[in-house]
């Protein structure tokens, strides 16, 4: 950056009063990620009001050699939207671009500005009898632009896929200040490879997503929720496959948690109650949904029969269906409170990883003891989305360890976990992305051919590393691919 005051003056004349501030008090909330792990500095906060303003700003930043860090709802898990500490980058928020641009009920799709908040979209499409089937904890702040840029996952991936499967079209501003626009999607279009895929999951390193067209699905009329105790994770997986064969499109959730998770929940969460009388080595939470209320009785009796057969076949030890919506919500509360309950036990490092789905039982059975042996006193707890192969692997610090453990031994534990998951053909980031948190681990562990391709594409689209520098993949000087 050469002359920041010239740049800010020019940016201000593009964006107007509402569109630019360098007031430290206004900037402050956006300089630290919501987990409180990373704090950066920024030249200013830009909030353009239109795609045209984003274009003008990017071209200006190019002229003045200013880097841009795009930020959505600031609810990311890997510091991907937090600037570095140099103070030379411009923080860019699209929260003023929050219009639903077009809604097509017949074709079940909606086109939105990138700054629309997920919950706002949920509410808007619900009034039309439709649903946007991606949801996650941060839905009250996460923006569509951030969700596209991080290829967000959440709790409905088993049936509907991640954001990539729901994005029909993207509008993005490139580092050259051009607009790539694909918002009126064609179902069949073979004019070369699918460029919009580059903007999904690239964490703002290749383009600034300014608009998106999303696929919608019919609203849910009701759900049927069951809880099953099993001997093993293998049995839970066999049960998952049966559910998938029997209910295909209606199966929307299949979560697993081990006995020790449930014990901790019962100990730490007020009013938490065991769904089943006895403790079982593993627990599965199953959700079926019906879009037509008339289908609910058949789903309910179908799941009852399937679970009765499973118990006969010794795949399940005991099972119960939620009698009503309150009980269904109570089952899901258990699942959603695992992280807070574990936190109450003491320091831990958490890993958002995935392995090929069929290998998840073996991975949890084998990797836990390896970590516990190599790091004496730790305890490993794995739970999560069995249907997606996505594991939340928590490693608890030895008793008596304090918070400092997380940064010292915890970091060594994490490096070892990432190495093991890579050896098992898995991913060091199932859904949270790379951001700045895992950029070093990705560079260390990624297959060289994959890393080379990531770098080539980054260098091709953003050779000056103007967009979100230091995130996802770095073009270290002198290491540009040839």
Who's near 397: CB < 8 A, 6+ residues apart?
346, 347, 348, 377, 378, 405, 406, 409, 410
Part of the chain binding a copy of itself (CB under 8 A), chosen from 12-20, 181-189, 227-235, 315-323: 181-189
Is 263 near a copy of itself (CB under 8 A)?
no
Give the C-alpha separation, 242 to 230, whole Å.
14
Q: Give just the sign of the alpha carbon dihedral 132, 133, 134, 136.
A: positive
User: Which of helix, strand or coil describes residue 404?
Assistant: helix
Least separation, in Å, of the C-beta of 237 and a copy of itself? 9
Of residues 117-156, those binding a copy of itself (CB under 8 A):
150-151, 153
Is 472 near a copy of itself (CB under 8 A)?
yes
Least separation, in Å, of the C-beta of 247 and a copy of itself? 12
Which lies closer to a copy of itself via its Cβ, residue 45 or residue 421? 421
Residues 443 and 478: beta-carbon distance below 8 Å: no
Between helix 259-268 and helix 338-345 the angle, nearest 10°, is 80
Which lies closer to a copy of itself via its Cβ, residue 193 or residue 399? 193
Binding mask 325-364 for a copy of itself (x = CB under 8 A): -----------------------------xxxxx------
Part of the chain binding a copy of itself (CB under 8 A), chosen from 63-71, 111-119, 191-199, 322-330: 191-199
Binding mask 95-114 for a copy of itself (x = CB under 8 A): ---------x-xx-------
Least separation, in Å, of the C-beta of 204 and a copy of itself? 11
Instruction: Look at strands 208-215 and 20-21 and give their pairing.
Output: unpaired
Give the C-alpha separation, 341 to 356, whole Å.
28
Least separation, in Å, of the C-beta of 141 and a copy of itself? 19
Side by side, which strands form the sheet with 90-93? Answer: 20-21, 44-46, 90-93, 68-71
Is 309 near a copy of itself (CB under 8 A)?
no
Which lies closer to a copy of itself via its Cβ, residue 14 or residue 173? 173
Is 206 near a copy of itself (CB under 8 A)?
yes
Residues 43 and 22: beta-carbon distance below 8 Å: yes
Binding mask 439-468 for a copy of itself (x = CB under 8 A): ---x---xxxxx-xxx-xx-xxx-------
C-alpha 305, offset from chain centre? 34
Which lies closer to a copy of itself via its Cβ, residue 183 or residue 320? 183
Binding mask 383-422 for a copy of itself (x = CB under 8 A): --x-xxxx--------------------------------
Side by side, which strands form the sheet with 179-181? Answer: 100-104, 109-113, 208-215, 167-173, 179-181
Q: Where are the beta strands (DSSP E) in 147-281?
A: 167-173, 179-181, 208-215, 217-218, 222-230, 251-258
Which lies closer to a copy of itself via its Cβ, residue 95 or residue 432? 432
How many residues are there in the chain? 482
């Amino acid at each position: 950056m050469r002359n920041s005051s010239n740049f800010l003056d020019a940016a201000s004349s593009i964006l107007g009063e509402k569109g630019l501030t360098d007031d430290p008090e206004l900037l402050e909330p956006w300089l630290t990620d919501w987990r409180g792990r990373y704090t950066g500095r920024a030249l200013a906060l830009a909030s353009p009001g239109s795609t045209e303003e984003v274009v003008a700003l990017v071209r200006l930043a190019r002229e003045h050699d200013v880097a841009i860090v795009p930020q959505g709802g600031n609810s990311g898990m890997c510091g991907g939207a937090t600037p570095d500490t140099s103070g030379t980058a411009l923080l860019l928020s699209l929260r003023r671009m929050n219009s639903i641009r077009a809604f097509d009920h017949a074709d079940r799709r909606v086109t939105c500005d990138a700054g629309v908040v997920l919950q706002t979209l949920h509410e808007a499409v619900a009034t039309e009898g439709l649903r946007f089937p991606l949801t996650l904890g941060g839905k009250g702040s996460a923006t569509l632009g951030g969700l596209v840029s991080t290829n967000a996952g959440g709790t409905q991936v088993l049936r509907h896929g991640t954001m990539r499967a729901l994005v029909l079209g993207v509008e993005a501003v490139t580092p050259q200040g051009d607009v790539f626009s694909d918002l009126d999607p064609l179902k069949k279009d073979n004019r070369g490879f699918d460029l919009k895929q580059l903007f999904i999951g690239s964490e703002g390193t290749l383009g600034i997503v300014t608009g998106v067209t999303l696929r919608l699905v019919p609203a849910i009329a009701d759900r049927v929720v069951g809880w099953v105790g099993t001997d093993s994770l293998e049995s839970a997986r066999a049960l998952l496959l049966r559910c998938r064969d029997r209910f295909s499109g209606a199966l929307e959730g299949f979560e697993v948690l081990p006995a020790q998770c449930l014990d901790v929940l019962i100990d730490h969460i007020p009013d938490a109650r065991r769904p089943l009388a006895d403790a079982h080595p593993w627990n599965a939470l199953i959700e079926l949904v019906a879009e037509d209320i008339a289908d609910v009785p058949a789903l309910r009796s179908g799941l009852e029969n399937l679970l009765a057969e499973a118990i006969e076949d010794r795949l399940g030890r005991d099972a119960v269906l939620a009698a009503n919506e309150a009980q269904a919500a109570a089952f899901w509360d258990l699942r959603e409170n695992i992280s807070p309950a574990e936190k109450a036990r003491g320091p831990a490092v958490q890993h958002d990883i995935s392995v090929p789905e069929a290998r998840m039982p073996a991975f949890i059975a084998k990797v836990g003891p390896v970590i516990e042996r190599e790091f004496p006193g730790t305890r490993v707890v794995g739970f999560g989305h069995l249907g997606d192969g996505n594991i939340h692997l928590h490693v608890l610090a030895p008793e008596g360890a304090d918070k400092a453990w997380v940064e010292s031994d915890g970091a060594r534990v994490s490096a070892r976990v990432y190495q093991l998951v890579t050896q098992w053909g898995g991913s060091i980031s199932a859904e949270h992305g790379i951001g700045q948190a895992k950029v070093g681990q990705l560079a260390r562990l990624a297959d060289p051919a994959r890393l080379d391709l990531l770098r080539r594409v980054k260098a091709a689209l953003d050779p000056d590393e103007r967009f979100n520098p230091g995130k996802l993949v770095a073009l270290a000087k002198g290491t540009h691919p040839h």
